[in-house]
Structure 1
């Protein structure tokens, strides 16, 4: 497994544009709150450290990862953000529920992004167990929230570049 030996949230090899002129919405699942709170902290701090203004970051909680798609759509309908970051955590259980939720959220996030022609970022952990989620929400493999924030910044910058 490639992630066993590295921090996946290392962006020292890439140029990150300034987030100073962009507005971000973060939709975060309340289910698995210890994990999603860490993802939120990572995403928020990464946006700030890359120039985003506090007043340009709006946070919206939703009950669970399944609701991330509708939260993102409601936010984009309002039209006051350049990108939406969806943060959640789905941990494999004993039933196929995991597969249905992960598939629905991944497809939903992609569809909302296409519908509104705005970046909607999939920052959802889909892990086999709690330890893997901990490792990817600020643990030894970095923080998927950081990665989602960097992706949002880069995609908003790309959209702006292509619109010129």
Structure 2
């Protein structure tokens, strides 16, 4: 588990950002923790009325993130979890989610919070989900990163060449 080396960033005022979360439904306990972490980040960054949309699984995150980006959201936080099994399914879903969310960010020039846990087992996911006793809070981290990136994009887009 990485945990160390993470940047320390104080929450900033993001009350004027339109923000959405797209969250998978598999692994309820882990997903509840990730969403709770996102909600804590929203409070800390003063985000007003974020939208939360649920999808069946992690594979479905990119297409809904793209639809939200099309609606003009400044940031979209993608939350999901994929736990390795005995088939290549893990690799296919992880690659599709990562590549798809990257494409959404680049094609739409929108901040994407990457809160997709890719774990070998359920305990690793629980350790990262921001639950009581968890070592990390990836829902919070992904949300904070998306908010800070959205603010940076605003500044960059306002600059004239």
Normalised to the residue count of structure 1, the TM-score between the two structures is 0.89
Q: 1:36 aligns with which of 31, 36, 40?
A: 31
1:121-140 correspondence runs (5 A): 121-138=113-130, 139-140=133-134
Unpaired runs of 5+ residues, structure 1, are none
Residues 129 and 136 in structure 2, CA contact (< 8 A), matched pair in contact too? yes
Q: Distance in 2 between matches of 1:49 and 1:154?
A: 12
Unpaired runs of 5+ residues, structure 2, are none
SS at match of 1:95: coil
Q: Match of 1:117?
A: 109
Normalised to the residue count of structure 2, the TM-score between the two structures is 0.90
- The alpha-carbon deviation at position 147 of structure 1 amounts to 0.5
- The alpha-carbon deviation at position 2 of structure 1 amounts to 4.1
Report how many residues are paired.
Answer: 156
Q: Match of 1:49?
A: 44
Q: Distance in 2 between matches of 1:47 and 1:103?
A: 28
Q: Distance in 1 between matches of 2:47 and 2:70?
A: 22
Are 2:97 and 1:105 equivalent residues in the alignment?
Answer: yes
- The alpha-carbon deviation at position 113 of structure 1 amounts to 0.9
- The alpha-carbon deviation at position 18 of structure 1 amounts to 1.4
Q: Distance in 1 between matches of 2:11 and 2:43?
A: 13
Q: Distance in 2 between matches of 1:140 and 1:58?
A: 25
Q: Match of 1:150?
A: 144
